[in-house]
Structure formats: C-alpha cells, structure tokens
Amino acid sequence: MKHGLIAFCALALATSGCSHKSKQPASLAATAKGAAIVESSGGKQIGYAGMLLDQPVVVQVNDASGSAIAGAAVYFSGPSGVSFTPASGLTDSSGQVSSTVSLGQQAGRYKIVASTPHATGKNLELALDEIALGYQQTLGAQLNAQYCIRCHDSESTPLRVSNMDNLSVKPHPFTDGDTLNKISDADLVAIISHGGPALNKSAEMPPWGYTLSKSDIAALVAYIRAVADPPYEAGGLVYAQK
Amino acid sequence: MKNQAKSIWRFFFGDSARAFGWVSLTLLVLLAISPAKNHFSQWRHYQKQYLHLIRGRADAVTLERHFQGGIQQIWIPEQQVTDRCTTCHLGLKEASLADVSAVAFRKHPVIPHSLTEFGCTTCHRGQGPATNVEEAHNSTEQWEQPLLPAKYIEAGCGQCHLEKQTATPFLNQGRQLISAYGCTRCHTIKRGDGTYILPDDDPPSLKHIADKTTREWIYAWIKDPQAYAGTATMPNYHLRDDDARDISAFVIAQSTPLQPPIQPVQADTKAAADPGAGTSLYGQSFCASCHAMQNAAGNLVGGDVGPELTGIGTKAKPEWLQDWVANPNHYDPGTMMPHYRFDPKQVATLVGFLESKTEPDFVAKVHLDPATPQQVEHGKKLAIENGCASCHEIDGIKKPENFAPELSRIGSKPLSQVLFVEGVEHSLPGYVAAKVRNPRIFGSSLKMPQFNLTPQQIDAITTALLAQTDRAQSQPPAMRIASEQQTKYEPAGHAGQLMRDLRCLTCHMINGHGGDMAPDLTWEGTAVQREWLTQFLKNPETLRPALIRRMPKFNLSDQEINTLADYMMTVYQTPQFDRDSLPVSEFTLAAVEQGRQLFYSKFACQSCHIADFAKDKGYIGPALAGTGKRFNAAWIYHWLKDPQALQPGTIEPNQHMTDDEARSLTAFLMSLNSTGSKEAMKK
C-alpha cells in the first residue's frame, strides 16, 4: 500500500517535475454568466521554464451581444506544473480577469485554459498557448536579441530601432512558422552559418559561421523552432508509440 | 484461557518435527524480506516501465542495447558526486526519446556539459545516492537537500561560472542587481575564486548634505524613497514618523558646509533662465543618456546611470544645482558625472530648467519643528542601528563592519538553521526569495530594509544567491571560470587628469576599465585620423543614426582638445599592426570599383551601413560615408578581416574575406569622403 502510494507520488512528481499543482479553485459567487470568453492579452508569450510570464494573462467575458459583463466567474487551469495567481476570479467592471502565470519545469508549449460557466450549465473554454524556453532556447533567445532581432523583428523600441524596413528583401520574423517550419534544421544551420547565398537567397543575410560557434547556431535554431507559430512539428522518423 | 494458549503452543511446537518446521518457515520468510524488498523496489519498477516503453518503439533494438539493468551510478570523487539518478532516468542520453511524455525517461535537454563528467546533483541538487523517488527529489528527515526548482536552475551554472555567460540571463541579472542595489555593502559575498561581489557605485556622501537639500526633503525621502522616484534604489526602512524626524535632524546636524562654500544664485543669472532653451540644452547635452525624467505623458525616459530627475527641483537647492552643473567635482570628487564646461549663461539655463521639475506634493505635508539636541542624539543612535553608514559617508559614524550575515555559502544553508514564518515556502529557495521580497515578515525588529523589486528581479537575485554554495567554495580550482574583473587602469599625465575631469570612463572602456555605453577606446589611436578626432571632440557628430545615446559636447578648449588628441593618438595603439602600414596612395581606381561591387553585392554591407546618404538606408552599424576622413586604412583592412580580434563582442559578422577582397573594400571605404552627414540625414 505504502509502496503503491510512493510509486504514485513518484510518478506524479516525475511527470509534473514538482509539487506546484494548481489546486482546484473553490467556486465563486458569480452574479452573472457570459456567452463568450475571449483573450484580452497575455497569450503566446515567450517565457522560461518554471518562471513567471512577463505579462499577466487577461481574459474577458462577454454577453450574447458581445459587450463585457461584470461578475462572471473565470477559472484558470493548465498542465501540471503551471500555477496561476489567482487561479480564479470574478470579472471586474470591464468584464476582465487577470492572472499571473508561472510555467512548468519543462521547456515547451503550455496550453492553458480559462473557463467560465455558461447559462446552459456547460463551461465555455478559451485555450491560450504559452512558450517556455529551456537552456538551449534561452541561449538562442539571447543571441537573437544580440545579433538577429534588429533585422528580423519589425518592431522598434527606444533603445533598438528596427532595421527591417531598410532592407530590400524583408527578413522572416522568427515566429513565422508558415515559412520557417518548412526549412529543415540543416538548411537553417547552413543559412545562418554561410549567409543567404548558401540557399540562393539574399546576401543581405550575412554569414555568422565565423562569428558564432556551432553550438550557438544550434541554439538559434532551437529558439526559432520553439517560438514558431504555427508550432513546429519535428520531422524525421515517426514512432508508433510515444 | 490458559488451555487455549497451551493448545496453540502444542499446535506449533508440540513435537520436535513440528517445531523445526515452523521455525524453518519463519526463518525462510524473514530471509525472503530483503530480496522481496529489493524485487519490489521503486527503481526496478521504473526499469520495467522503461523497457516496456522502449520495446514499443521503432528503434527498440538500439535502445535495448544501451539499456543496463541494476543500480547505475555516476561517481566523481573529486567533485563529491555519487549520483544514482541514471538508475531510473534511463533515457537521458537517448536522442530518440526527446519527445516521450514520461519526463523520467525523456532525453535530457541540450546542455554544454556531459552527464558523466559533471553528474546530476552538481546542477540540480537533490540526494545523489538515493534510490527512491521521495529521498532523491525531496527533502526527507535524513536528507534535506531537495531538487532545485527549474526557475533557479541557473544557480547550478553559477557555482563554477563566475563570469557573465550569454546562456544564463537570470544569473547575470541577479548578480548585477546585487551590485546595483549594494547588497554587499552590508552582506559579504565571497565567490569561489576568492574575489568578492562588489557594489557598483558609492551612494552619496552626507557630509555636506545640508548644502544640497532640506531637512523636510530628507524626512520624506527616508520615509518612502520610491514616493520621490520610482527608480530609487534606496530601500524603505518603514520608519516611524518620530524616528524619521530624529534621523533627519541628525543628518542635517552632522552636515558641515562645503569648502570652499557654494555661491548663492545671482539675481541677474536667475532672470536669464529660459524654459525653452533649458529643454533644448538638456537634450543637446544628452543628459538623458544617464538620467531619466518623466515626460509630459508620464513615461520615464532616459538612462539609469545617474539619479532620476523628475522631482529634482523639489530635492536640490538652486545654489547647489548651480554649483553642481558648473562643476560636479566641487561637491563630489567621486561622482560619475562629467564636468561639462558650461558658460554661466548655460548653467543658469539648465538650473532654471531643472528647478522647474518639481514634485511639490512630496514635501507639502511635512512640517518639522526645529530639532532638539535629544532628537539629534536619538537620530544618531537610529542611524547607527540601521547601518546608514554602511552606504553613506556620515560625519561621526564609522562604516560598520560585518553589519549583516555573510552570504558566501547561503545556497547551502541547512534548513535546520532557518526560521520559517507562516506563508513562506518551506525550502531554501522559498526562504531566500521571501527574505529578499520582504525581510520584515521575519520579524518587525529586523534591520534589513525592504527593497523595491519586481517578482522577476527577486527570482534573479535568489538565483544568484543560491549559486553561493559549499560546492562553489570548495571545488577544485580547475572547475572554475573566473569572473571578469575590471582593471584599475587610469589614463596618465595631464591628459589623464582631463579625461578624469570629463569622466570618459563612465561611458567608454579603456584597457579593461570603464563603462559599456560607448565604444571601447583602447585602440582608438590606431583606428582614427588625428584631424577627425579633433573635429569630433570639438563638435561630436552623429555616427550612428539609430542610437539615442550620443557623445555630448563638452565645450572643450582647443588646447584641451590637442592634449586629448595627442594622448589618444600616441597611447591608444594596438600592438597588432602599424596604423600607417596601408597608405591610401597605393589604392587604384580599379580596386575602389571592385570594392564598391563587393560592398553592394557580395557582402551587402548597405543592409547595416550607409556609404551614400542618398541611397543607402541600413542603420545598425555606424554610417560610413565619411570613412576616408575618419579611419586609417590599415584599421579598416584588419577590421574587415576579423572584427572580433579588434573589438571582442562586436556584432559585425566576420565575413571570412580573402586578403584581396578586404583590400578592395578598404580602398572603396577610404574613397568615401562625404562630410556634413547630418545635413544629409535631415533630408
């Protein structure tokens, strides 16, 4: 019995990585029920394994006519390891509930769900994807911020003006999964190492293979794969069972 | 009752054969316990599960060949590693298991170290020799080292890596915050290599504070520094009103007038102040490179080298501002602020502008009666108790030594020595984070003040502190990557004094000493032409159109400029090559043309640089339109061949050019003689 219990705990622990399981929240005294739940902000953030996301996740509950309603209960849930503060709440006067999210211990994508009860008794659910970077992807993210982002990201900040519009061939943002997912790892490594001409593309993409190490370039590829939208599905051998 | 017992006795031991049988059986059962325990042990269960998992996969044969049953162990005596984690975590090295859902069997994510050389507990902590899940991962009565939560995992790296690594942003940030917030002014933190984490800069001396500000402002400030400026690094001591009253009384009482004294503001210069001119002089002088200020929209704009200036008019007295803007060295010889050579009219203009930046609400409600000697005495006692002199120079109080506990081994502090309070997670990381977040929850009489930190900053500091382990202190020196230490380099002679006066090293790095806001000048004398340098010092032009932080104009005299230029051209030379080794006269027109082709087609340099303001747009690197007037050809050539050799860390990619290509490109770049880049930019 005891062994069984320990084994169970062990498995739970091993699969969740730790004991930060989000507890089932107590039901709230909701004064209203919504007809739709929509994302206000905070989806598709790029965070780090086990850490808080930079921005809170904010969702909004609307009535049938599409206007926000106050007093509706919203419950957040996610895969084991993900925790929410608070895990549930009532919508405020602008129809919104905000929660800070801490991601699980493993790198990868986390699907978090915000749900609100519907008048029919069913739950309305909204799923949001969040990305947790591990060691290699974090290194890639840092190198991206140092070397790549000023051409590959069209957004400017006060300390970093985007160079994208100055280029005659527009670079692909690293989140552009539709394009980048089709390029194999080997081709990505080649284009980063030897520049655009390696794949018959523009020389405006310079070669980085004499500046960055092989493991740096592998980290960049790992980062590009991690942030791809739509998500990158690894190619190659497909096994019968996972 | 007695009969019953007798009959039971008879049943078991009635005759010798019976007795022998039962005793044997009992012994057999007892003997079987140990093998049974072994057979049903957790790790066997995991190994069975693992075999079940891999047998269903396409590469089962390979995986089974790699599989070794029984207890596995990584043993590295010199690092005190005895890790049996691989007994259950069987797929750590199997590339094809990267995607399995059971974390226990998944491949280890890519890291730069080999498991067999470093073990597991070196980074993850936990109990290496344990063979059951609870003992290995969590703290139990016998073993109290639990696994490190993933968000602090960079603490593992920080035990050996004392340097700043690209892959550990949180560890770097944590260490930087410890220096920036001056944690080590009270806590000693010794690193494994024997060096210490040092504070970034010196908080202001209070010896002449009454020259600078009022007692009312000090009262409001020590009550709540962040109410004055959200960016203030001074922590909140949660002082009671009368304690703040007494400390402010003491601080003013110990202050002595500066010698020579600060001059009062002249009535006629006061009148000269013009708010419009002040705004533009503030902008032209690039004050915002170091100082932040809230703009009309309420957004904070500017750097964090110097203090925020949003409410400076409420804080500083006008005569102090005048003295400071004219020459900061007078009030604080140790300041990082350069001595701009403003003329009296400019000083008045800037002072007028700064004086208009007020936060009247901050001191509006403060009404203090004149201090009594008892209050001053009590204020001094409080200042000693709170360790004010750990950070600030104060007349009459010595800087305390070992004011707070040493944190060199905080990451290995036994939990039995930690006092937990309600609401604090029962783990070492939980304790450290709670202590950083709000020290006073551990007792209202504790001295440690509350710092104004975001949750993310708290996690970063906790990561850096958790890296301070016994292992970090005691491991073999060969394991350590030393921290980068700044040199103590100072430029020499008359030029050195001038460079000190201008605080060049606040922004520029030279010979390993200085800031990272502006380019490294160690080899500037090889890179540039003297004529350009003197022009630039006279009137700094825009070199990088996309940058907000620029070199300010210091209003230097011709003589000062000559002194600086002579020194830099003579001393700041690379030993790698001679700056005159590639005379421009040797370049042919054909080479220039070939270089142009290379610039625009093969290497597409125009993506990042502007050679011709009329058609190029790239603005990541510096504009190159005036290269022929600015640089020496030899520098350009060697830069093109290997940029990182001349400036480690530069983002200019090494394009692996042939000698011939680099020569032609140099010829082309040296042919660019455009002047007046600013005018062209405006078009």
Top residue of A1, A2, A3, A217 to mutate, by most chain B CBs within 10 Å, is: A3
User: Are residue A146 and residue A115 in the same domain, yes or no?
Assistant: no
pLDDT value of position B426: 86
User: Are residue B545 and residue B652 in the same domain, yes or no?
Assistant: no
- Nearest chain B CA: its distance from A186 CA (Å): 17
CATH of the domain at A169: 1.10.760.10
Could you say which of B96, B103, B456 has the minimum Cβ distance to residue A17?
Answer: B103
Distance CA B609, CA B669 (A): 11
The closest alpha carbon to B76, from B649, B478, B508, belongs to B478
Any domain includes A172:
yes
Any domain includes B4:
no
Q: Which helix (H) or strand (E) holds A226?
A: helix A214-227
Could you say which of B45, B167, B644 has the minimum Cβ distance to residue A142?
Answer: B167
CB contact under 8 A, A166 and B45: no
Any domain includes A15:
no
Any domain includes A242:
no
> Is B459 within 8 Å of A52 (Cβ atoms)?
yes
Confidence of residue B542 (pLDDT cuts 50, 70, 90): low
CB contact under 8 A, B57 and A50: no
pLDDT at B547 over 70: no
CB contact under 8 A, A203 and B618: no
pLDDT value of position B404: 92
Name the residue in chain A with its Cα closest to that of B88: A14
- Per the structure, the complete domain to which residue B53 belongs is given by 42-147
Any domain includes A108:
yes
Name the residue in chain A with its Cα closest to that of B657: A210
3-state secondary structure of A61: strand
pLDDT value of position B683: 33
CB contact under 8 A, A14 and B40: no
- Nearest chain A CA: its distance from B114 CA (Å): 14
User: Are residue A112 and residue A160 in the same domain, yes or no?
Assistant: no
Residue B595 vs residue B674, higher pLDDT: B595
pLDDT in tens, B183-215: 999 999 999 888 999 998 889 999 999 999 999
Name the residue in chain A with its Cα closest to that of B598: A203
Number of domains in chain B: 5
CB contact under 8 A, A13 and B651: no
Whole-number mean pLDDT of chain B? 90
In A59-98, the residues whose Cβ lies within 8 Å of chain B are none
Any domain includes A183:
yes
Residue A3 vs residue B277, higher pLDDT: B277
Number of domains in chain A: 2
Any domain includes A7:
no
User: Are residue A57 and residue A142 in the same domain, yes or no?
Assistant: no
Sheet strands (E) in A23-77: 36-41, 46-48, 57-62, 73-77
pLDDT in tens, B250-300: 999 999 999 888 888 876 665 555 678 888 899 889 999 899 999 888 888
- Nearest chain A CA: its distance from B58 CA (Å): 6
User: Are residue B375 and residue B233 in the same domain, yes or no?
Assistant: yes
User: Are residue B328 and residue B226 in the same domain, yes or no?
Assistant: yes
Could you say which of A6, A166, A202 has the minimum Cβ distance to residue B42?
Answer: A6
pLDDT value of position B680: 41
Percent of chain B, pLDDT > 70? Answer: 96
User: Are residue B285 and residue B413 in the same domain, yes or no?
Assistant: no
User: How buried is A73 (Cβ within 10 angstroms: 0-12 exposed, 13-18 middle, 19+ buried)?
Assistant: buried
Is the minimum CB–CB distance between A161 and chain B shorter than 8 Å? yes
User: Are residue B539 and residue B633 in the same domain, yes or no?
Assistant: no
Q: Which helix (H) or strand (E) holds B361?
A: helix B360-364
Mean pLDDT across B516-542: 90
Top residue of A101, A163, A220, A232 to mutate, by most chain B CBs within 10 Å, is: A163
Name the residue in chain B with its Cα closest to that of A47: B151
Task: Report residue B314 as tokens.
Answer: 């409420």
Residue B579 vs residue A120, higher pLDDT: B579
- Per the structure, the complete domain to which residue A214 belongs is given by 135-227
Is the minimum CB–CB distance between A157 and chain B shorter than 8 Å? no
CB contact under 8 A, A135 and B99: no
User: Are residue A127 and residue A44 in the same domain, yes or no?
Assistant: yes
- Distance from the Cα of residue B317 to its chain's centroid: 33
Mean pLDDT across B658-672: 95
pLDDT at B247 over 70: yes
User: Are residue B333 and residue B352 in the same domain, yes or no?
Assistant: yes
Any domain includes B394:
no
Mean pLDDT across B535-563: 83
Distance CA B73, CA B432 (A): 32
User: Are residue B564 and residue B589 in the same domain, yes or no?
Assistant: no
User: Are residue B53 and residue B112 in the same domain, yes or no?
Assistant: yes
- Nearest chain A CA: its distance from B655 CA (Å): 6
Mean pLDDT across B18-36: 90
The closest alpha carbon to B246, from B434, B404, B438, B385, belongs to B385
pLDDT in tens, B214-239: 999 999 999 999 999 989 999 999 99
pLDDT at A6 over 90: no
User: Are residue B337 and residue B229 in the same domain, yes or no?
Assistant: yes
Q: Reply yes or no: is the peptide bond before residue B360 cis, omega within 30 of 0.
A: no
* Nearest-5° Cα angle at B251, B248 to B257: 130
Any domain includes B386:
no
CB contact under 8 A, B618 and A166: yes
Any domain includes B315:
yes
Top residue of A51, A82, A202, A205 to mutate, by most chain B CBs within 10 Å, is: A51
User: Are residue B563 and residue B590 in the same domain, yes or no?
Assistant: no
Q: Which amino acid, B383?
A: A
- Nearest chain A CA: its distance from B517 CA (Å): 12
CATH of the domain at B516: 1.10.760.10
The closest alpha carbon to B624, from B683, B671, B572, belongs to B671
User: Are residue B340 and residue B412 in the same domain, yes or no?
Assistant: no
User: Are residue B62 and residue B102 in the same domain, yes or no?
Assistant: yes
